[in-house]
Structure 1
Amino acid sequence: MQKVYDIAIIGAGPAGIGTAIESFAFGIKDILLIEKAQNHSATIRTFYKDNKRVDKDWMGQKVECEGNIVFMDGTKETTLDLFDRLLDKHKIETMFNTEVEKVEKKQDLFEIFTTNNEKFLAKNVVIAIGKMGKPNKPSYKIPPSIKQFINFNLDKCGKGEKILVVGGGNSAAEYAYFLADSNDVTLNYRREKFTRLNPENEKIINEYVQKGKLKLKMGVDIDHLESEHGKPKVVFTDGSNEVYDRIIYAIGGTTPTEFLRKCGIELEGKKVAVDESYQTKTPGLYAAGDIVTETGGSIAIALNHGYAIAKHIKENQR
């Protein structure tokens, strides 16, 4: 007979890892962690620059860790090291390079179907896939001839390039000043002022601008892109235009609505509808991380989601 897991967790980011570790701490032993990437914490690895600060109290949200995982301020590297140690210590069964296609509930069990035709059975399922796995893209079309010069992270960025970073959040700011040390960088934000930067990033941006190491183009949006001799030409809404070697978009992530629909999960606006234990309207089916919050992004909050879910599953374990 096929093994039935007590809990299957889809997504090995902070919310998924938190749920796995807290479930183990509550004595739930048959745990399966499924991740489509080749390692855990793919968003942190892909979208965080090296040595990026990772704060427990993100965006001014004061968070107390409720479970067994002690998460403190650190860096990208210390955060990844923490999750490595936790997964190794608790010997969590993990399936990497495995993408889930849909989840269906049949009587008292969930069937989890993967894109490579595997099927797993579980009494409870947690969707912890996050938004940044599907980064937001601009509404205007990107000409095919310049797509190789369009980024949504720091991949393939070299030195000595003329780069436009688009966005007004912390990721955009960090990309901009990180690249500005070795490139000609302009940071473009459609609003007149930054409203979402943490104090440290705002301070660094101001210092770079004052020293002439970074240019700002504020209060103007991009109308469309063109190809000029194979390079991205940006036409702004104020009528100006500029040719760049590379454009990096850091404009947030999108809730994976199609996947959630296949799992029978309802949305309230742009977030998953859950109760106080992060259970959806389907008993035994939970959601955690930034797909259940308006702001998203907080690792400590995601870990707390995992604790609440594990506690609820333990209390209702048959």
Structure 2
Amino acid sequence: MDSVYDIAIIGGGPCGIASAVEAKISGIENILLLEKGDNHSQTIRTFYKDNKRVDKEYKGLDSQTKGRVEFETGSKEDVLNYFDALLDNETIDAIFETEVEKIVKNSDGNFEIFTAHKHYFAKNVIVAVGRMGRPNKPSYKIPPSITQRVNFNLDKCSTGEKILVVGGGNSAVEYAMTLSRENIVTLSYRKGEFTRINEINAKNLAYDVKYGNIILRLKTDIESIENEEGKVLVNYKDGRVFVYDRVIYAIGGTTPVDFLKSSDIEVDEKKIPIIDENCETNIKGLYVGGDLATRSGASIVVALNHSNTIIEHINSKNR
């Protein structure tokens, strides 16, 4: 096993950065921060225009920071520079362009964090991803008449269907293997081999293909899809045409709900993680903070305060 971090933080937004800084200042040294984007604060970078003001007070939410990381209203650039300085001033092991697929608590009490290319291990995990995640969609149009037959996760899938799963990552392979237990499943990938899946999935997929549980179509790119008497007609670029009961796209950009489910984090009827006053989930040592942990969205101050609450609770367990 690789070294075990004291804390692993998933997400490089305000809650994630503040959690890392709070932990470092409190004396916790072995900290890992994983961010799927190529830099921190992706929501601010993406959804705020240049020079747009980022407010401290937001919709009547708490505007007083409680921890060691403070915040004041400023422009987009001011806020990004501030978080840059926080990361630069604290020697935190930050790894970018790394998307976490799921988190599992092992029998030894440590968490195993799954990414496409490597597993990490930690005693505590803080999930600080935002709600803004969306699944990637194909470039061609999805006819409105068959949107109920097109999925981007396993929600609303039935049994006894002829299903096409599109994608070449771990999610696509896992979707196909799960659905193949009660459906006829084809897995389509535009490349000639899988380069982004882990060894376990590669081995299990090879078994399912060998024994006919999954039909595998490599080097197949889709031109368009149409409504064929209520089903999905798929036109491939090589001229072939097939009809399916359902098509599932797993081409990146998985949603937070998918991630929570894969990590066995309990959610309520609105898909909000169920946490206690310490932001701890049903799994001891696994926390959720930031806007993903709230019903009405969160301000930066709320995210910072969540980080303070979580780090204080982790430290209290170590006293």
What is the TM-score when the length of structure 2 is the normalising length? 0.61
CA offset digits 1:260-282 (Å, max 9, x no partner): 01111011223110000000010
Task: Please say if residues 255 and 271 of structure 1, whose CA atoms lie closer than 8 Å, have aligned partners that are also in contact.
Answer: no
Equivalent in the alignment of 2:7 = 7
Task: Please say if residues 52 and 76 of structure 1, whose CA atoms lie closer than 8 Å, have aligned partners that are also in contact.
Answer: yes
Equivalent in the alignment of 1:262 = 262
- Per the TM alignment, residue 143 of structure 1 is displaced from its structure 2 partner at its CA by 5.8
Equivalent in the alignment of 1:25 = 25
Matched, 1:36 2:36: yes
Matched, 1:70 2:56: no
SS at match of 1:121: strand
- Per the TM alignment, residue 255 of structure 1 is displaced from its structure 2 partner at its CA by 6.3
Task: Please say if residues 62 and 301 of structure 2, whose CA atoms lie closer than 8 Å, have aligned partners that are also in contact.
Answer: no
Question: How many percent identity over aligned positions?
Answer: 52
Rounded Cα–Cα distance in structure 2 between residues aligned with 1:4 and 1:42: 27
- Per the TM alignment, residue 133 of structure 1 is displaced from its structure 2 partner at its CA by 2.5
Matched, 1:134 2:134: yes
CA offset digits 1:122-141 (Å, max 9, x no partner): 0000111111132899xxx7
Rounded Cα–Cα distance in structure 1 between residues aligned with 2:263 and 2:62: 33
Equivalent in the alignment of 1:226 = none
Matched, 1:83 2:76: no
Task: Please say if residues 133 and 255 of structure 2, whose CA atoms lie closer than 8 Å, have aligned partners that are also in contact.
Answer: no
Rounded Cα–Cα distance in structure 2 between residues aligned with 1:67 and 1:297: 17
- Per the TM alignment, residue 61 of structure 1 is displaced from its structure 2 partner at its CA by 2.1
SS at match of 1:267: coil
2:2 partner amino acid: Q
CA RMSD in angstroms comes to: 2.1
Matched, 1:290 2:305: no
Matched, 1:313 2:314: yes
Rounded Cα–Cα distance in structure 2 between residues aligned with 1:306 and 1:56: 16
Gaps of 5+ in 1: 145-253
What is the TM-score when the length of structure 1 is the normalising length? 0.61
Equivalent in the alignment of 1:304 = 305
Equivalent in the alignment of 1:250 = none
Gaps of 5+ in 2: 145-253
2:264 partner amino acid: G
Question: Matched residue pairs, number?
Answer: 205
CA offset digits 1:240-267 (Å, max 9, x no partner): xxxxxxxxxxxxxx96211101111011
SS at match of 2:126: strand
CA offset digits 1:62-89 (Å, max 9, x no partner): 4210001110011111110110000000
SS at match of 1:271: coil
Tell me: CA distance 1:136–1:14, structure 2 relative to 1, closer, same or farther (3 Å): farther
- Per the TM alignment, residue 142 of structure 1 is displaced from its structure 2 partner at its CA by 5.5
2:116 partner amino acid: T
Equivalent in the alignment of 2:272 = 271
1:277 partner amino acid: N
Rounded Cα–Cα distance in structure 2 between residues aligned with 1:69 and 1:54: 16
Tell me: CA distance 1:291–1:315, structure 2 relative to 1, closer, same or farther (3 Å): same
SS at match of 1:316: helix
Task: Please say if residues 135 and 255 of structure 2, whose CA atoms lie closer than 8 Å, have aligned partners that are also in contact.
Answer: no
Equivalent in the alignment of 2:16 = 16
- Per the TM alignment, residue 111 of structure 1 is displaced from its structure 2 partner at its CA by 0.4
Rounded Cα–Cα distance in structure 1 between residues aligned with 2:73 and 2:112: 38
Rounded Cα–Cα distance in structure 2 between residues aligned with 1:130 and 1:77: 20
Task: Please say if residues 128 and 288 of structure 2, whose CA atoms lie closer than 8 Å, have aligned partners that are also in contact.
Answer: yes
